[in-house]
């Protein structure tokens, strides 16, 4: 069992983030539980790479002095699995907002789906979603979007080293992606739909790896709390 000093000197915690939780909520919950367990007034806790509330999977949490290494973890290669649903797009590129445009899908074949993935391999220009936490002039992009204000979003270079289609069930396309820091899988889903001369949005997402860290070695929030000392 880890001691108070272990957490203060620095730990790397692998947490399997559940759906509907923000990454910030996970950090706050773990910080509170660690403080309660060891009767600590103050301890640094941070996460190394945001996961959207509608995504589950690997979240690296750093405590104490290891919070200085957060940038290192954030820069590592990430792996995701998920589902892109074709035939409709949403303003947020996922299920945070409702479908606002529908498109034909009759022309889309499994061969076309497989062939189209090649367009996204390597270094590509990607536009982040307007519903994102990126800042422009001191405000989060999603603040502009939710207020209905138009905002210009600049593209950025990202690298996708793998984009594998793992299953096709009607308009639901299961995938695995390996990508660089800063890649938005929601944007990939939206762009993939366009490349298929249709539309698409991200309907499920799970982060499975960050560098050499794997979600199969991560604890649920409840399991992490259960192994903390009790008074």
Q: What is the pLDDT of residues 170-187, one digit of tens each?
A: 999 999 999 999 999 999
Query: Is 65 part of a structural domain of the chain?
Result: yes
Q: What is the pLDDT of residues 106-145, one digit of tens each?
A: 999 999 999 999 999 999 999 888 776 677 767 777 776 6
Whether residue 179 is found in the same domain as residue 100: yes
Whether residue 100 is found in the same domain as residue 141: yes
Query: Is 196 part of a structural domain of the chain?
Result: yes
52 is catalytic: yes
Q: Which of 52, 115, 164, 174 is catalytic?
A: 52
Cα angle 189-193-197, degrees, rounded to a multiple of 5: 165
**Coil, strand or helix: which one is 40?**
coil
Whether residue 175 is found in the same domain as residue 222: no
Whether residue 220 is found in the same domain as residue 190: no
Whether residue 70 is found in the same domain as residue 158: no
Whether residue 9 is found in the same domain as residue 42: yes
Q: pTM to 2 decimals? A: 0.93
Instruction: Name 104's Cβ contacts closer than 8 Å, sequence gap at least 6.
Output: 87, 198
Query: Is 15 part of a structural domain of the chain?
Result: yes
Show the DSSP H helices in 10-130 as ranges.
23-38, 70-74, 110-116
Whether residue 89 is found in the same domain as residue 102: yes
Show the DSSP H helices in 92-184 as ranges.
110-116, 141-146
| Structural domain of 58 | 4-75+214-226
Show the DSSP H helices in the chain as ranges.
4-9, 23-38, 70-74, 110-116, 141-146, 185-195, 221-226
Whether residue 12 is found in the same domain as residue 122: no
Domain count, the chain: 2
Q: What is the pLDDT of residues 83-107, one digit of tens each?
A: 999 999 999 999 999 999 999 999 9
pLDDT of the residue at 216: 98
């Amino acid at each position: 069992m880890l001691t108070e000093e272990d957490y203060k000197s620095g730990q790397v915690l692998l947490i399997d983030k559940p759906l509907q939780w923000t990454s910030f909520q996970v950090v706050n919950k773990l910080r509170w539980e660690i403080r309660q367990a060891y009767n600590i007034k103050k301890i640094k806790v941070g996460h190394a790479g945001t996961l959207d509330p509608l995504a589950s999977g690997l979240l690296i949490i750093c405590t104490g002095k290891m919070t200085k290494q957060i940038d290192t973890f954030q820069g590592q290669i990430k792996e995701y699995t998920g589902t892109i649903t074709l035939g409709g797009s949403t303003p947020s590129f996922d299920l945070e907002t409702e479908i606002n445009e529908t498109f034909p899908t009759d022309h889309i074949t499994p061969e076309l789906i497989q062939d189209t993935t090649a367009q996204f391999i390597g270094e590509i220009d990607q536009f982040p979603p307007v519903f994102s936490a990126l800042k422009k002039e001191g405000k989060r992009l999603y603040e502009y979007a939710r207020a209905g204000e138009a905002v210009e979003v600049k593209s950025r270079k990202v690298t996708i080293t793998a984009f594998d289609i793992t299953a096709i069930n009607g308009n639901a396309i299961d995938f695995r992606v390996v990508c660089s820091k800063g890649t938005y899988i929601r944007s990939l889903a939206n762009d993939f739909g366009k490349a298929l001369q249709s539309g698409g949005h991200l309907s499920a997402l799970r982060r499975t790896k960050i560098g050499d860290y794997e979600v199969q070695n991560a604890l649920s929030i409840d399991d992490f709390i259960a192994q903390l000392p009790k008074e």
